[in-house]
A and B are shown apart, each in its own frame.
Chain A
């Protein structure tokens, strides 16, 4: 969980109940992924792309997803930020003004000059620091300062060829917070990571005031379009400009404008997110149109549609409090015991009795009467009771061959080793599986600018790239605890290496609600380590052979280097023609280096100067 965003999931749900939607969003922006311009854009794209991939999977369709980013010039906004009282010369500036791409201050219709008419300073206001404008002279009564500011927008549109969303569900799918269907179906799904596409819609309307445009077709010959926004008071979707017409379009296209977002090609960018998504989803074809108009295609490398994850009832071991409360809120069961025995896997009547005794909760009461604190107690006890483990066949890995194909096509490495490990369990019974790969050379590794290539760790949970909070992730920890020197990868930080790990489980133990990193549980770290070391061994063999070749090359170059000098000396001594000697010696040098591949110097030859006793003369 990232530094200051350290909010527990329980808190999140609690706050969600207590505050209005907009306020909730503002308070938890960072944790929801909307902090920083680059990251916010990545989060938006992530929410939409995830929905698209899931929709294609649902319909067993080979995904074709187009992400288009377009810069839109924004209209200037104006705001009165100060009114004069004849005495004050110092006024607070609203944050959004200073965060804008450009801002100007006007007084009486005249533009104020920075450093001439005013200066901007940081002041403390209680515990926070605020920016203030300090005028040269107090602002006269009746005068105002108007801030004119503008921020460039980015228009994001994501289009897929999936199943489409039925007209009646569009509002629900994109315009209601925490209302996704995925909270009810326990499948190994990507979507578990997303806090929801609806937040992206909300973020758009908050930053630009503009609604999101949705176009959807379910393949019945009709296309539905509408503008959609969220009523922040009721948390209800509001649709306008609805239209329906005949058309062949199938899939979903979402378009929305955002401010406070930015695009580049850094480690945390949309570009990197899509590149990694492509790596873990070799059956998908992803196209990115960058704001510059440049088109990047991450091509499909396999044509098989991945096996659909088997829907399974949730297992108590994988539960957290907010998920449990969510299930409670929508269950039709009339008692808690009924709720658990019918909606959970491996939850027998014996377990009900056992938990009843442990928690002193009355399992005969209605599910809706379960309190938050009681749910917390239950989840705690879940970890202590012995369970029959969840089924393993609900795990769907990408597959060794598929990973090989995708990494080969996207990284073009000189050497690649992929392993798919057997399923294991953590927390005493939750099945998981690790797929790992180490790619060396070619386009593997991250680009370190001037310094050349460096190691890059590609982290995935159920095929979804984890871009943020790498420091707290089990995958990063596993990578760091391996002694890469042993695998001929000395100074791995500066090696052209891509390390790929996909963690597969119905319950991914994220470190927090942000779903950015996998918790470093011992069984998981050990398993990832083993998988990576298995890969590294193979890569090491290759690197070793490279080094041998380089040694030979070095040897040859040493031999060749001195030939000229030796020839000149021999000519001085004996008068034999230089050309003739040079040819012969070059040939011997070549033969010798080839010969030396197999055997090393014979023993009667000296291998170090020491043997000759080169102590300095006294």
Chain B
């Protein structure tokens, strides 16, 4: 029953987007009929139009719009590429109920323009940027356009979900996924939560930590879900976390290295990013909390002996982050200042210097019990 309704929703989404694209095309045609310069209205995505919304706790796109015109030397090529994206999504993907990767699109639409020696797309970066243009112009996101990114991220824990590949429906028990865990797909819109029996979600930025916790049966012992993002979180993982947080009201605790890059990974999951500010709404997980590791952790757990000297780039990054609106919390400013002061950083694995299971048996339970988090 639920499966059928989900299928219906998906179909309706597809039709909605398809109509939106058609409307956009018709708008361009009416511009052409009126002998006007055909153009798309696209929100500006530069730093001038990206800011932090205090009340929503999100990095969002402002309302500054720009015209992307065909007959403008600086825009012509990108306009053409955006149209290539539009036709590919409409005609090849949505109409056939197929999904594709960004690279698929790149190869599908790359060809030599007739009568010239110029290619429609030189590098994938160009079509990727055209995709972003198209998403924001349609006020949607790429998953709705049946475009998927590389999946990244694994999970394990007491939860059962239902996933589908076109008309094939699978029931997946995340507690029976062995040593590797369940791989979070790049599109998670179609996933239904079935049986959920956990108290919180623990996210680590590193595969190694996930494997450690899985081996230590951490999720079983602590009645939780564990997840690895394997570095900067992919869109699928971020969206899935948001759904766990908003739909299931599960607390999300995030564990990263004690350095500016780790902290930035956390902030992206929570507030969104500058580059994808238009998707913070869908990808941001405002309730997420920072569990560790902080410079204070290094002091508190006496890890000074196993720290690494901070590099020039780390320091530069920290100085930049200090000025970000979303790092303006007193606690974060203290952490960043400590970092700039001591010029040291630490990996999560530094906890292994105590003993291998110190993280599972002592560090994490202690932190969670004391609610020792950063905002």
Whether B70 lies near A618 (C-beta < 8 A) is: no
Q: For A591, what are the chain B residues with a Cβ–Cβ distance below 8 Å?
A: 35
Whether A589 lies near B71 (C-beta < 8 A) is: yes
User: Is A584 in the interface zone, CB < 8 Å from B?
Assistant: yes
A561-618 at interface with B (beta carbon < 8 Å):
561-562, 564-566, 568-570, 572-574, 576, 581, 584-585, 587-589, 591-592, 601, 604-618
Of B33, B67, B68, B118, which is within 8 A of A584 by CB?
B33
Q: How far is the CA of A564 from the CA of B276 in the complex (A)?
A: 31
Whether B70 lies near A566 (C-beta < 8 A) is: yes
Q: For B276, what are the chain A residues with a Cβ–Cβ distance below 8 Å?
A: 617
Q: How far is the CA of A612 from the CA of B66 in the complex (A)?
A: 8
User: Is A559 in the interface zone, CB < 8 Å from B?
Assistant: yes
Of B82-90, B186-194, B206-214, which binds chain A?
A: B82-90
Q: For B71, what are the chain A residues with a Cβ–Cβ distance below 8 Å?
A: 559, 588-589, 592
Write the nearest CB–CB distance from A404 to chain B, whole angstroms: 39
Q: For B36, what are the chain A residues with a Cβ–Cβ distance below 8 Å?
A: 588
User: Is A555 in the interface zone, CB < 8 Å from B?
Assistant: yes
User: Is A98 in the interface zone, CB < 8 Å from B?
Assistant: no
User: Is A558 in the interface zone, CB < 8 Å from B?
Assistant: yes
Q: For A612, what are the chain B residues with a Cβ–Cβ distance below 8 Å?
A: 42, 44-46, 66, 133
| Proximity bits, B223-266, A CB within 8 Å = 1, else 0 | 00000000010000000000000000000000000000000000
Whether A576 lies near B46 (C-beta < 8 A) is: no
- CB-nearest residue of chain B to A614: B129
Q: For A585, what are the chain B residues with a Cβ–Cβ distance below 8 Å?
A: 32, 38, 70
B29-44 at interface with A (beta carbon < 8 Å):
29, 32-33, 35-38, 42, 44
Whether A562 lies near B77 (C-beta < 8 A) is: yes
Whether B87 lies near A558 (C-beta < 8 A) is: no
Whether A587 lies near B44 (C-beta < 8 A) is: no
Q: For A559, what are the chain B residues with a Cβ–Cβ distance below 8 Å?
A: 70-71, 76
Write the nearest CB–CB distance from A392 to chain B, whole angstroms: 56
Whether B37 lies near A592 (C-beta < 8 A) is: yes
Whether A566 lies near B80 (C-beta < 8 A) is: yes
User: Is B21 in the interface zone, CB < 8 Å from A?
Assistant: yes
Whether B275 lies near A616 (C-beta < 8 A) is: yes
Whether A570 lies near B49 (C-beta < 8 A) is: no
Whether A562 lies near B74 (C-beta < 8 A) is: no
| With A614-B129, A618-B273: A573-B22 Cβ-Cβ less than 8 Å | yes
User: Is B114 in the interface zone, CB < 8 Å from A?
Assistant: yes
Write the nearest CB–CB distance from A196 to chain B, whole angstroms: 62
Q: How far is the CA of A435 from the CA of B68 in the complex (A)?
A: 54
User: Is B105 in the interface zone, CB < 8 Å from A?
Assistant: no
Q: How many inter-chain residue pairs (CB < 8 Å) link A and B?
A: 134
User: Is B317 in the interface zone, CB < 8 Å from A?
Assistant: no
- CB-nearest residue of chain A to B231: A618
User: Is B326 in the interface zone, CB < 8 Å from A?
Assistant: no
Write the nearest CB–CB distance from B328 to chain A, whole angstroms: 21
- CB-nearest residue of chain B to A602: B67
- CB-nearest residue of chain A to B136: A612
User: Is B217 in the interface zone, CB < 8 Å from A?
Assistant: no
Of A558, A561, A584, A613, which is within 8 A of B47 by CB?
A613
Whether A611 lies near B79 (C-beta < 8 A) is: no
- CB-nearest residue of chain A to B89: A573
Whether B113 lies near A615 (C-beta < 8 A) is: no
Q: How far is the CA of A572 from the CA of B48 in the complex (A)?
A: 35
User: Is B302 in the interface zone, CB < 8 Å from A?
Assistant: no
Q: How far is the CA of A436 from the CA of B268 in the complex (A)?
A: 69
Q: For B47, what are the chain A residues with a Cβ–Cβ distance below 8 Å?
A: 613
- CB-nearest residue of chain A to B45: A613
Whether A611 lies near B73 (C-beta < 8 A) is: no
Whether B268 lies near A618 (C-beta < 8 A) is: yes
Q: How far is the CA of A287 from the CA of B228 in the complex (A)?
A: 91
Q: How far is the CA of A566 from the CA of B84 in the complex (A)?
A: 8
Write the nearest CB–CB distance from A199 to chain B, whole angstroms: 60
Of B29, B69, B74, B78, which is within 8 A of A570 by CB?
B29
Q: Residue among B72, B77, B268 with the most chain A CB within 10 A?
A: B72
Whether B67 lies near A606 (C-beta < 8 A) is: yes
Q: How far is the CA of A327 from the CA of B260 in the complex (A)?
A: 93
B14-64 at interface with A (beta carbon < 8 Å):
21-22, 24-26, 28-29, 32-33, 35-38, 42, 44-50
Q: For B26, what are the chain A residues with a Cβ–Cβ distance below 8 Å?
A: 574
Q: For B91, what are the chain A residues with a Cβ–Cβ distance below 8 Å?
A: 572-573
Write the nearest CB–CB distance from B20 to chain A, whole angstroms: 11
| With A561-B118, A569-B84, A618-B268: A610-B128 Cβ-Cβ less than 8 Å | no
A525-579 at interface with B (beta carbon < 8 Å):
554-555, 558-559, 561-562, 564-566, 568-570, 572-574, 576
Of B22, B48, B74, which is within 8 A of A574 by CB?
B22
- CB-nearest residue of chain A to B25: A573
Q: For A574, what are the chain B residues with a Cβ–Cβ distance below 8 Å?
A: 22, 25-26, 29
Whether B74 lies near A609 (C-beta < 8 A) is: yes
B87-108 at interface with A (beta carbon < 8 Å):
87, 90-91
User: Is B316 in the interface zone, CB < 8 Å from A?
Assistant: no
Whether B118 lies near A617 (C-beta < 8 A) is: no
- Seen from chain A, the residues whose Cβ lies within 8 Å of a Cβ on chain B are 554-555, 558-559, 561-562, 564-566, 568-570, 572-574, 576, 581, 584-585, 587-589, 591-592, 601, 604-618
11 A-B contacts (beta carbon < 8 Å): A558-B76, A561-B115, A562-B70, A562-B113, A565-B80, A569-B83, A573-B25, A592-B37, A605-B72, A606-B44, A613-B45
Known: A558-B76, A562-B113, A607-B74. 7 other contacts (CB 8 A): A561-B118, A562-B79, A572-B90, A576-B29, A608-B74, A611-B66, A612-B44
| 9 shortest interchain CB distances as A-B pairs | A613-B46, A613-B45, A573-B25, A569-B83, A572-B87, A569-B87, A562-B80, A574-B25, A592-B71
